[in-house]
Structure 1
Amino acid sequence: MDKTMKRPENVNVSLLTYVSFTFLGYFIIGLSLSVLPIFINKSLGFSLVVAGLVISLQYVSTFFLRAYSGKMIDGKGPKPAVLYSMLGFSLTGIFLIMAYYFKASPSLSLIFLIITRLLTGCAEGLVGASPINWAIMAVGEEHTAKIISYNGVASYGALAIGASLGILIEHDFSLYGIGMLSIMMGTAGFLYARTKRNVTNPNTQEGQSFWKVLRKVAPFGACLALGGLGFASISTFITLYYNYFHWNNGALCLSVFGGLFVIGRLVFSNVIKNYGGIRVAMVCLLVETTGLLIIAFGNNPEIALVGAGVTGLGFSLIFPALGVVAIKSVPASNQGSALAGYGLFIDLSLGVAGPLIGGVADVYGMAYIFPFSAGMVFIGLGLAYLLKRKSDLQI
C-alpha cells in the first residue's frame, strides 16, 4: 500500500473515491423510486397494492444477493462485485425504457418493471458492502467507522437527490429519460471501477460459512433493524401522518430528518473510535426514541419537525456504531460476509416496516404509529444494553 495513503487528508480523498460507487448506485435507485408507484397505478391502471408489491421485489433480490456478494468479496475482492453491480444498474435502465414503450400493454409493461425491480435489488445487493470493504482494505481497518459513516451519507444523500431529480426528469422526459440516465450513470460507474486496483483479503485462512457469520452478527443486526423502524416510520408514513392531522408540508420532515442525519454522520464520526460502538449505539437509540416520542406527543407540525430532526440525529450513527462491533465478532477472513450479513437486517427492517406499521395504523389509528415505533426502538436500546453487559463480562 502507498504510504502516503495513510495520511489523514489522503485517507479522506481515497475513501471518497470508493464510496462514490455507493453514491452512483443509490442515485440510480432513487431516480425511479418516487415515480414508479404512480406510473404503475395511474398509467398502467394497477392497484396500489400491486404497485407496493412490485417496488418491494427489490428488497427480496437484495436479501439473497448480499450473501453472494459477501462470499465474492472475501474470495475475489470487492472490485468484481462493484463491476457487476454497475452493469446491473445499467440493465435496469434498459428494462425501464422497455416498460415505458410497452405501456399500452399494461401486463407486458408490468413484467418489464418486475424485471427492473429484481435487477435493481441484485445490483443493490452487490454494491451494498463492496465499496465499504474496498475502502477498508485500501486505507486500513482503523478507519472502518469513518468509512461506514461516509458510505451512509453517500447512500442516503444519493437516494434523496435521485428521488427529487427523478420526479423532474419524469415530468419532462418520462420514464425514457430516467432509463437513459440510469444506463449512462451505471456505465460511467463500470468504466471508473475498471480503472481502480482490486484489493483482496490478506487473511488467507479458511473462512466460515455465510450462515455461521450471520449468526454471529445477528444480535447487532437485530439492534439495527429495530432502530431502522424509526427511520422507516418517518420515510413511509410522515406525509400521511401530517395529512391525518390536516397539517401542511409533511415532506419537510424528510428533509429535516435527512439533514440532521448527514450532520450527525459528518460531525460525530470519530466518537465511535473514542467511546466504542455499543456505547455510541445505546446513546443513538435513546436519542432516536426521544425524537419519535416528540413527534408522537407533539400537537403541531413545528414540534413534529423538531422530532424528525432529533430522530435523524439519533439514527445517524447506529449503522456504523454497531457495524464496527459486528465486523470484530468474526475472523478477518470473513469481513465481507460480516458486512453483507449485517446489512441484511436494515433490508429486513425496511421490508417489514410498511405492513407492520401500516397494520398498527389500520387497527389502532394513525396517531399510534409513532408511539409504536418509539417502543420498537426502545427495545433495540434494551438489546444493546444486554450486548454491552455481555461484552463487559467477557473482559
Structure 2
Amino acid sequence: MPSDHSAETASANTNLRIIAIVSSTFVSMLCIGMTLTVLPPWMHGALGFDAVTVGAVISLQFVATLLSRPFSSQMADRLGAKRVVLLGMMGCALNGALILLAALCVQWPVLSLLILILSRLALGISQGMIGTGSLSWGIGLVGPTLMSKVISWNGIAGFGALAIGAPLGAVLAQNLGVISVGLFIVLIGALALALAWRRPASPIVSGKRVPFARVFRVVAPYGGALALSSVGYGVIATFITLYYAEQQWDHAAWGLSAFGMAFITARVLFAGTVNRFGGYRVTLVCFTVELAGLLALWQASHPGVALLGAVLAGLGVSLIYPALGVVAVAKIAATSRSAALGAYSVFLDAAVGLTGPLAGFIANRAGYSSIFLFAALCSLAGFGLCAALYTISIKRRARAEREARLDSEVRAEAL
C-alpha cells in the first residue's frame, strides 16, 4: 500500500509539472482564439478590407511562426526552453498592446492595418517560441518516456484556450470594443510571464547538435502529412466567422469553439490509442473523420450541420500531431529535441500560413463554402501520403525482421 501511495503521489506531481508548463501554451492560444474571432470581421466591417487582405493579415501570424521556428527551437536547445518561453510571453503582451493601438486608429484604416500587421508578426513569433519551448521544457522536466503525454496535454491546453478564447473575444468586442481585447491580452500575457518566471528550468542536454537541415529532412515525411491535415484547421480558424456571415447564421464563434472542444475531447478520451494501435493507424482514422467533417461544412445548409462538421473536423485533427510527432522526434538525438519539435511544427505553420491567402482567393471567386471542399481534398491527399508511409514502414520492419532472423540463424550454425 505505501508503494502504491508513493506511485500515485509521484504521478500526481508529474501531472502538475506538465500542467504548469503547458499553461504557457494555454495563454498564447487564448490570445490567438480571441484575435481569430474578433479581427477578421472587424477588419472587414470597420476597416473595409476584402477577404484576401483579411486572410493575408491573419495568416501573417502563422508565417511569422513558421520563419521563427528554426531559430527559436535551436535557441531552446542551446540556452534552455524556459528562456525561450519567457521571451514568447513578452511578445504575446506586445501583440495585445498593438491591437489596442490599432483600435484607437480605426479612423485611419491603412495605419490601423499596418499596426495589425505588426501585431500579427509579434504574436506569430511569440507562438513559435512558446509552442516549441513549452514542449521541450515539459519533456525535459518529466522525461522523454512521457513525450506523448506532454504533446497531448499541450494540445489540450492550446485548443481548450482556443475554444474559450473565441467566445470570450466576441463578448469583449461586442460589449466593450476591440480596445478591451487588446487590453485583456496585455494583462494576461504579463501575468503568464510572471508565473512562468518562477517555475524551474529543464536541464540543457549536452552533446553535439544535429544540423537543422538534417533534422528537417528526417521529419519531413511526417510533417508533410501533418501539413495536409492542418489545412482544415486553417480554413476553420480564419474563415468560419465570415462563412457564417455569408450564410446569415448567428453565433459564428461557437463553430470555432466546437472545433476546439471536439479536439480536446478526443485528446482526453483517445490519447492512449497512439501507444496501443500505433501512430500510422491512428492517423489514418483521424484523416477519415476530418474529411467527413470538412465535407459536411462544404455542403451545410443549416448551422447545425456546420456545427457537426466543425466537431468532426476537430475530432479528426486532434491526434494527428502527437501520433506522427512522437515517431518523428524519436528519430532525432535528445540534444536536438527542440529542433525536431520545431522542424515538425514548421509544416503546421506553413500549411496554415499559406491556407489563409489561398483560401481567401478561392472564397472571393466561389464563395466561402468552397474553401471547405479545398480543405477536404487536402485531407484526402494526407490520407494517401500517410497510407504510403505506413506501407513503407511495414516493409522496412519486415525486412529488418528477416535480416535479424537470418543473422540469428547464421550465428546458431557457427556455434
Q: TM-score, normalised by structure 1?
A: 0.89
CA 1:29–1:210 in structure 2 vs 1: closer, same or farther (change >3 Å)? Answer: same
Q: Is the contact made by 1:35 and 1:166 (CA closer than 8 Å) also made in structure 2?
A: yes
CA 1:64–1:373 in structure 2 vs 1: closer, same or farther (change >3 Å)? Answer: closer
Quote the offset at 1:311 in angstroms: 2.4
CA 1:41–1:256 in structure 2 vs 1: closer, same or farther (change >3 Å)? Answer: closer
Distance of 1:178 and 1:308 partners within structure 2: 25
Q: Is the contact made by 1:22 and 1:131 (CA closer than 8 Å) also made in structure 2?
A: yes
- Which aligned pairs between 1:240-319 and structure 2 lie closer than 5 A? 252-296=254-298, 301-319=303-321
Q: Tell me whether 1:81 sits opposite 2:84 in the alignment.
A: yes
Quote the offset at 1:198 in angstroms: 1.2
Counterpart residue number, 2:197: 194
Counterpart residue number, 2:405: none
Match for 1:223 among 219, 222, 225?
A: 225
- Which aligned pairs between 1:91-170 and structure 2 lie closer than 5 A? 91-170=94-173
Letter in 2 for 1:162: G
Q: Tell me whether 1:331 sits opposite 2:350 in the alignment.
A: no
Letter in 1 for 2:233: F
CA 1:271–1:71 in structure 2 vs 1: closer, same or farther (change >3 Å)? Answer: same
Letter in 1 for 2:354: V
Counterpart residue number, 1:60: 63
**Secondary structure, in 3 states, of the residue corresponding to 2:271?**
coil
Percent identity over the alignment is 38
Counterpart residue number, 2:10: 7
Q: Is the contact made by 1:56 and 1:351 (CA closer than 8 Å) also made in structure 2?
A: yes
Structure 2: stretches of 5+ with no match in the other structure: 1-5, 398-415
Distance of 2:106 and 2:35 partners within structure 1: 16
Letter in 2 for 1:125: G
Letter in 1 for 2:355: A
Match for 1:352 among 338, 351, 354?
A: 354
Match for 2:40 among 9, 32, 37?
A: 37
CA 1:259–1:101 in structure 2 vs 1: closer, same or farther (change >3 Å)? Answer: closer
Distance of 1:301 and 1:47 partners within structure 2: 24
Quote the offset at 1:294 in angstroms: 4.4
Quote the offset at 1:114 in angstroms: 2.3
Q: Is the contact made by 2:289 and 2:315 (CA closer than 8 Å) also made in structure 1?
A: yes
Structure 1: stretches of 5+ with no match in the other structure: none
Q: Is the contact made by 1:278 and 1:325 (CA closer than 8 Å) also made in structure 2?
A: no
Counterpart residue number, 2:403: none
Letter in 2 for 1:333: T
**Secondary structure, in 3 states, of the residue corresponding to 1:200?**
coil
Q: Is the contact made by 2:139 and 2:147 (CA closer than 8 Å) also made in structure 1?
A: yes
CA 1:250–1:173 in structure 2 vs 1: closer, same or farther (change >3 Å)? Answer: closer
Quote the offset at 1:267 in angstroms: 0.7
Q: Is the contact made by 2:85 and 2:129 (CA closer than 8 Å) also made in structure 1?
A: yes
Q: Is the contact made by 2:162 and 2:260 (CA closer than 8 Å) also made in structure 1?
A: no
Quote the offset at 1:217 in angstroms: 1.0
CA 1:349–1:279 in structure 2 vs 1: closer, same or farther (change >3 Å)? Answer: same
Q: Is the contact made by 1:95 and 1:113 (CA closer than 8 Å) also made in structure 2?
A: yes
Quote the offset at 1:389 in angstroms: 2.1
Distance of 1:252 and 1:104 partners within structure 2: 30
Quote the offset at 1:8 in angstroms: 2.5
Match for 1:69 among 64, 67, 72?
A: 72
Letter in 2 for 1:184: L
CA 1:224–1:7 in structure 2 vs 1: closer, same or farther (change >3 Å)? Answer: same
C-alpha RMSD of the superposition: 2.7
CA 1:105–1:308 in structure 2 vs 1: closer, same or farther (change >3 Å)? Answer: closer
Distance of 1:61 and 1:383 partners within structure 2: 27
Quote the offset at 1:106 in angstroms: 3.8
Of stretches 349-358 and 140-149 in structure 1, the one that deviates more from structure 2 is 349-358
Q: Tell me whether 1:90 sits opposite 2:93 in the alignment.
A: yes
**Secondary structure, in 3 states, of the residue corresponding to 2:177?**
helix
Kindly name which structure, 1 or 2, has the bigger radius of gyration based on alpha carbons. Answer: 2
Distance of 1:209 and 1:365 partners within structure 2: 44
Letter in 1 for 2:31: I
Letter in 1 for 2:133: S
Q: Is the contact made by 1:18 and 1:131 (CA closer than 8 Å) also made in structure 2?
A: yes
Q: Tell me whether 1:391 sits opposite 2:397 in the alignment.
A: no
Q: Is the contact made by 1:69 and 1:125 (CA closer than 8 Å) also made in structure 2?
A: yes
Instruction: Note the alpha carbon deviations across 1:237-258, whole angstroms, 9 max, x for none.
Output: 5556566667666655434333
Q: Is the contact made by 2:163 and 2:256 (CA closer than 8 Å) also made in structure 1?
A: no
Letter in 2 for 1:155: G
